[in-house]
Amino acid sequence: MGLPSPNPARVRTEDDKILFSFRLATWVGGAYINGTAEMVFSDGLLSTQAPLGYAISLMCGGILFARRMRAAGYVTMLDPFQRKYGERMGGLLFLPALMGEVFWSAAILSALGATISVIFTDVSQTASVLISAGVVIFYTLFGGLYSVAYTDVVQLFFIFVGLWLAIPFAIKHKSVGNILTTWPQWHGGIVKHTEVRWIDDLLLLIFGGIPWQVYFQRVLSAKSASKAMYLSFFAAVGCILLAIPPVIIGAIAKSTNWNETDFDLNKDITSAESKKLILPLVLQHLCPKPIAFIGLGAVSAAVMSSADSSVLSASSMFARNVWKLVFRNQASEREVLWVMRIGIFIVGGAAAGIGISVPSIYLLWILCSDLVYVILFPQLLCVVYVQFTNTYGSLISYIIGLTFRILIGEPEMGVPQVIRFPWYIPPRTMCMLISLFTIIVVSYITKLLFENQILAPRFDILRCLTNIPVEIIPLKESTTADEFSKLNISKNTSYNDQITTDSIQLAPSFIALDHGHNNPVDTSYGAIH
């Protein structure tokens, strides 16, 4: 079901051209532009933290992780976890990653459904989301790495041209006031005693925006470790620049007397449903029809292009890191491909259901980073930088972090609040710090207990410190820098730092475990028998 692959020589020259757009499009898509306009209109510019947060996130990801992860030759974000903590622990860490991807996909489909329901007024928003999910699932099945990459390039072009083309017409509409004069109405503010929540949300966006397969699959597709880092920096700048059009559109919407437009007076423009649609509503009601058509087309293209990356990243992680490494070690490549395709249906369906039920695109945007921030970020930080951490610390940290996150509640999802931190403590950041503290302390204590023989080896039930099997553990790595390319069965690529001539054959490498420190030690092929 794969499309014909590009010529390898051409691929090498085109990789550099598309990679900047590929990485920038990690966050800049339909949910990004729709959510930004929605938040500026409803709560003001100061409350619209996502553009700043994700720009800083790209920079931090480039500094802290891009070079190291790319140089290590990982295929997916879960690979370092499964190397260090074992395949089953890596499979467990897939769950928060999956939830994040599903919420992110839901935000994208919700944005696309909102746009379609504005273009085709006879189609309900629920039907629009379902239609959008069906289209995304269908063309994702027939695409792969390069279909995602090229649609990302087109997406960014459409956003830039389409929205900037619409802004002059919208801002000159007779019902729109001067946005400079109406600045006090849309600049927003931070209400007293909500400063800590504002900081908590910003930190969540920054550090919760790093541990994503949809980001790391772009990092791992870079031709070198240094390019992975520097392109993240350029993408951060682009992230801010591409937030300008939706911010202006949100300001225009706030400065508009909607009673003077052809907007349905029976509907409340300040309702949750209308806020969600604010960007396409501005294009439809404040721009000439040809311009509105181009602008709405730009939004639709942006949203559609964002959806395939997220759905693919979740399904590819499940197929490789859970199905193959945890449940079916002997699974063939064809079986893995079919599992990935089935995963596309499941993820797309779940995202559509959530996108229909949650009223705010921006809320979905925030929720998608929540579990990733609390659970995955401490784990990723430790697996890369804290060498003595082990499976015991990872497992206990996972359980405690998840427990605390559930206990602090989530009103928007109907989860009651059991634990109340003082107002000056950012709750989600505190949960993240508790999780980080737990993995370090538990790993250190268990390491001392077993290394100093305070506990006998038979108590090493996870077999990660002293009770380690003597045989070498084989880990299979894809010869490509991107697991998504497996959807294109005939794809051939070449990267400077990897062996890449066969299509999707897995090249075996061997990892020996350092018995004293629970660290994997690479050995050359055939060096140890």
The residue ranking higher by pLDDT, 383 or 33, is 383
Confidence of residue 524 (pLDDT cuts 50, 70, 90): very low
Least confident of 199-213, 250-264, 328-342: 328-342
48-71 mean pLDDT: 91
Q: Which of 206-215, 227-236, 253-262, 294-303 has the lowest mean pLDDT?
A: 294-303
pLDDT at 168: 94
pLDDT at 512 over 50: no
Identify which of 31-35, 94-98, 441-445 has the greatest average pLDDT.
441-445
Kindly indicate the confidence band of residue 103, based on its pLDDT and cuts at 50, 70 and 90: confident
pLDDT, position 390: 93
Region 219-231 average pLDDT: 82
What is the predicted pLDDT for the residue at 479?
A: 34
Using the predicted structure, report yes or no on whether residue 9 has a pLDDT greater than 60: no
Say what percent of the chain tops pLDDT 70: 76
* Contact (CB, 8 A) for 40 and 250: yes
Q: What angle do CA 186, 366, 118 make, to 5 degrees?
A: 65
Query: Helices (DSSP H) in 142-277: which residue ranges?
Result: 145-158, 164-171, 183-186, 195-207, 213-219, 225-241, 244-254, 272-276
Give tens-digit pLDDT for 361-388: 666 666 667 888 999 999 999 999 999 9
Angstrom distance (rounded) from CA 354 to CA 363? 12
Q: State the Cα–Cα distance between residues 203 and 183, nearest whole angstrom.
A: 27
Q: 280 and 125 in contact (C-beta within 8 Å)? A: no
**pLDDT top residue among 218 and 434:** 434
Which of the residue ranges 112-116, 180-184, 267-271 has the most confident prediction, judged by mean pLDDT? 180-184
Predicted local confidence at residue 365, as pLDDT: 61
Which residues, in sequence order, are CB contacts of 56 under 8 Å at separation 6+? Answer: 205, 206, 236
Whether 529 shows a pLDDT value over 90: the answer reads no
pLDDT over 90 (residue 317): no
Q: Per mean pLDDT, which of 92-96, 165-169, 194-198 is the most reliable?
A: 165-169
Q: Does residue 346 or residue 148 have the better pLDDT? A: 346
What SS3 state is found at 490? Answer: coil
Our CA angle for 388, 391, 395, nearest 5°, is 125
Is the model more confident about 264 or about 46? 46
- Please tell me the predicted confidence (pLDDT) of residue 99: 81
Question: Which residue did the predictor score with more confidence, 492 or 232?
Answer: 232
What is the rounded distance in angstroms from the CA atom of residue 520 to the CA atom of residue 84? 6
DSSP-derived letter for residue 504 is: S
Q: Which of 234-238, 403-407, 410-414, 519-523 has the lowest mean pLDDT?
A: 519-523
Query: What pLDDT, on a 0 to 100 scale, did the predictor assign at position 105?
Result: 81
pLDDT at position 27 over 60: no
Q: How would residue 525 be classed by pLDDT, with cut points 50, 70 and 90?
A: very low
pLDDT tier at 149 (50, 70, 90 boundaries)? low
Q: Can you give the pTM of this predicted structure?
A: 0.77
pLDDT confidence of residue 132: 80
What's residue 478's pLDDT? 39
Between 2-11, 312-321, 438-447, the lowest mean confidence (pLDDT) is in 2-11
pLDDT band at 97 (very low <50, low <70, confident <90, very high): confident
> Who's near 88: CB < 8 A, 6+ residues apart?
326
pLDDT of residue 3: 34
At residue 250, the pLDDT reads: 94
Q: Model confidence at 426, in pLDDT bands (50, 70, 90)?
A: very high
- Within 10 Å of residue 225's Cβ, how many Cβ atoms? 19
Average confidence (pLDDT) over 410-420? 82
276, pLDDT greater than 50: yes
Contact predicate 272/359, CB 8 Å:
yes
Q: Answer with the residue of higher pLDDT: 305 or 99.
A: 99
Predicted pLDDT at 19: 42
Q: What is the pLDDT of residue 179?
A: 92
What average pLDDT does the chain have? 77
pLDDT at 471 over 70: no
Q: What's the CATH number for 8-442?
A: 1.20.1730.10
